Amino acid sequence: MQLRQYEDLLAQLAVELQRYLMGRGAQREVAEDICQDVFVKVLEMELVLPPDELRPYLYRVAWSTYLDDYRRKRRYRELVTQYLRPEREQVDSEVYEDLLSALDTLPEHDRELLLLRYNQELSIREVAVCLKVRPAAIKMRLHRVHRKLKKILRRGSHGRK
């Protein structure tokens, strides 16, 4: 097989893998990231497979990478649930329930941000390094998340009265 044909096959496989992962429930960005990771892994291993063995291998690696990513995100959600929710003894049960439901309505990336900042007690700069953004962006995101929580909690308390 010529080099150009092999490159075309790899490009076609990248598109196929993305569609496969999106069909299995992955978000578009996640599928793109996983495909990139899979091809980087293959290149780093300097693995040379014949075209008929390459497709099944890439599908297996892509699926296992997706499962690893899914499990890691699920673990973050569990940590947020476990550590960002106050103990029932310390907080009035009504306030606790309001806070619990407010945290559940936040997007996953907002909960992850709160976990890094307040549970792991990272500085703004450390959170920025973890999320690969500027510290100013972290400050603004935290401000927005706090505003969202206040808005959700106010809406919930007015609905009860």
pLDDT digits 0-9 by tens, 112-133: 888 888 878 888 898 898 888 8
Residue 16 and residue 31 in one domain? yes
Query: How far apart, in whole angstroms, are the C-alpha atoms of residue 134 and residue 9?
Result: 38
Higher-confidence position of 110 and 97: 110
Question: Does 150 score more than 80 pLDDT?
Answer: yes
Residue 91 and residue 28 in one domain? no
Residue 39 and residue 91 in one domain? no
Residue 89 and residue 148 in one domain? yes
Residue 16 and residue 70 in one domain? yes
- Average pLDDT, integer, range 101-110: 85
Last residue of a domain, one of 26, 54, 78: 78
Query: How far apart, in whole angstroms, are the C-alpha atoms of residue 44 and residue 67?
Result: 21
Number of compact structural domains in the chain = 2
pTM of the entire predicted model: 0.49
User: Which two three-digit tokens encode residue 121?
Assistant: 């007690």
pLDDT digits 0-9 by tens, 22-69: 998 888 998 999 999 888 888 788 777 787 888 899 999 999 999 998
CATH number at residue 63: 1.10.40
Structural domain containing residue 155:
84-160
Q: Please report, rounded to a whole number, the percentage of residues in the chain having pLDDT higher than 90.
A: 24
**With the CA atoms of 124, 126, 130 and 132 taken in that order, what torsion angle do they form, in degrees rounded to the nearest 10?**
70
Residue 117 and residue 155 in one domain? yes
CATH number at residue 88: 1.10.10.10
Last residue of a domain, one of 49, 78, 107: 78
Residue 38 and residue 70 in one domain? yes
113-122 contacts, C-beta under 8 A, 24 or more apart:
113/138, 113/141, 113/142, 113/145, 114/80, 114/84, 114/145, 115/76, 115/79, 115/80, 115/83, 115/84, 117/142, 118/84, 119/79, 119/80, 119/83, 119/84
Question: Does 158 score more than 60 pLDDT?
Answer: no
Please work out, in degrees rounded to the nearest 5, the angle formed at the alpha carbon of residue 8 by the alpha carbons of 7 and 9: 90
For residue 161, the model assigns a pLDDT of 42
